[in-house]
Structure 1
């Protein structure tokens, strides 16, 4: 049965795929799920899914329009080898890139740059972040795809109020701040996963969007979806973030990724069994 009337959009890191520290395997070792490595970096395994999650994704990707929606740049995204056929659409750079069959769409890129003209320049925001950072907890800083910036920090040494103070400063300039693990992101407000996913849905001709994510950078995507999921970990869980159409899962870590895919499959199958809507 085809479920192609539904577009499934999902964040990757700490939603579908997990580094070793993020797995949260709390069960006895003999009961731990078998894992599949889906990303290698510098010749070392980096990210994993359970084998059951991999089988679910392979099935979903063959029967639906599955769209990875990540803050990763295209270069970082291409390190990941997800099960199933290569997605026709992928959203990278937090919506700054729409990949079609692996290639960045120039029309979408031009549209994004038009939207960002109303925000303060990246160079100004990056310079402010670096002026406010302290060497005792700043590990590195990066600019991603000439669109946004992030810091890698030692969380234990980061002052409790630093992120909020940065967010208060950045907001009037059209930028948002998000803390994810050891990374502090500064992202312009118009740069959203939801906008790029909506464009993918328009081009694919799907009727509904189902989405999953765990961080504040996924909030707009989940809010715009017809049905959404989040795990019991991440920024959204820490803040108790809720929506009427949001399903909050009790699982944490890699088992949450498996459960998200299981529920996505059930929901997409149920949607396919309903009569097609009239247009």
Structure 2
């Protein structure tokens, strides 16, 4: 019996990298206010097309819906499902008319997705349980000069960006005295989350929805740890010491190489399934 394979992957710094790491020949797939923002390497696009044809590829990202919809997927790479907002939202593609053909420059905008109402219904109690407390925290820090950004994301979680990157850990500890809700620090960003809103829980729901018998996952940050832990086989960077995950071991490689390495490992796992 052929296995149903699910590949759930974080986007930023896993498959997608910013303009700061772009090299000549990389393909821009995201713009912000007219400026180039996100890139894939040509090799990533080549490999992702093959993965998308052989498995169910689902991005699982902490990005908001609006941030996700900025991406213009290269032809043949478009996922039919996407989880955003750290698991709060499932986007589905109602039609798949643009799923093949075309070159790397041909692209499909993610805005053709629609929200899955059944997913919304299942997450409503999770979000409602923390909603008032998150709003109160947001109000308490909205004018706090220690934070460059303080906002609710898709009415699901609180995002805080410290004005001083070096104070991220100290501010996370301080916020922890104000709430018993989970707090995640990822690089220079802080997230205050409802209990049960994490990428691992989202992956469990995806597994049930797709009927997958082999689940592969990739990620680079602490926000991805639940995703990696919930997968049958996982791929990550050395900075995230996730038990059981396969770790990228190419020091000084450029950002795109982690995406390429991951997709190579995913295709190997598919071939062996």
TM-score (norm. length: structure 1): 0.80
What pairs up with 1:246-265 in 2 under 5 angstroms? Answer: 246-251=245-250, 253-265=255-267
Q: Indicate conservation of the 8 Å contact 2:27/2:40, yes or no.
A: yes
Q: Indicate conservation of the 8 Å contact 1:4/1:65, yes or no.
A: no
Write the distance in 2 (CA, Å) between the matches of 1:33 and 1:64: 30
Write the distance in 1 (CA, Å) between the matches of 2:246 and 2:69: 29
Write the distance in 2 (CA, Å) between the matches of 1:91 and 1:111: 14
Q: Indicate conservation of the 8 Å contact 2:217/2:227, yes or no.
A: yes
Write the distance in 1 (CA, Å) between the matches of 2:221 and 2:247: 13
Q: Indicate conservation of the 8 Å contact 2:158/2:192, yes or no.
A: yes
Render the CA deviation track for 1:55-78: whole Å, top value 9, x for unaligned. 111111122100000011222111
What pairs up with 1:41-190 in 2 under 5 angstroms? Answer: 41-83=32-74, 84-101=76-93, 102-119=113-130, 121=132, 122-130=134-142, 133=144, 135=145, 137-156=146-165, 158=167, 160-170=169-179, 172=180, 175-190=181-196
Aligned to 1:243: 243
Aligned to 2:107: none
* CA distance 1:160–1:145, shift in 2 (3 Å): closer
1:178, CA displacement in angstroms? 2.3
Write the distance in 1 (CA, Å) between the matches of 2:19 and 2:62: 19
Render the CA deviation track for 1:128-176: whole Å, top value 9, x for unaligned. 4447x4x2x4222221100111122334453652222323543x2xx22
Write the distance in 2 (CA, Å) between the matches of 1:38 and 1:181: 23
Write the distance in 2 (CA, Å) between the matches of 1:220 and 1:160: 20
Q: Indicate conservation of the 8 Å contact 1:149/1:187, yes or no.
A: yes
1:124, CA displacement in angstroms? 2.2
CA RMSD of aligned residues (A): 2.3
Aligned to 2:110: none
What pairs up with 1:177-256 in 2 under 5 angstroms? Answer: 177-232=183-238, 237=239, 241-244=241-244, 246-251=245-250, 253-256=255-258
Render the CA deviation track for 1:90-138: whole Å, top value 9, x for unaligned. 101110001121211112112111123443622123234447x4x2x42
Render the CA deviation track for 1:39-88: whole Å, top value 9, x for unaligned. 11111110112111111111111221000000112221111123324211
* CA distance 1:15–1:159, shift in 2 (3 Å): closer
Gaps of 5+ in 1: 26-31, 272-279
Aligned pairs, how many? 248
Give the structure, 1 or 2, with the largest relative contact order (CA under 8 Å, sep 6 or more). 1
Write the distance in 1 (CA, Å) between the matches of 2:87 and 2:128: 16
Q: Indicate conservation of the 8 Å contact 2:19/2:36, yes or no.
A: no
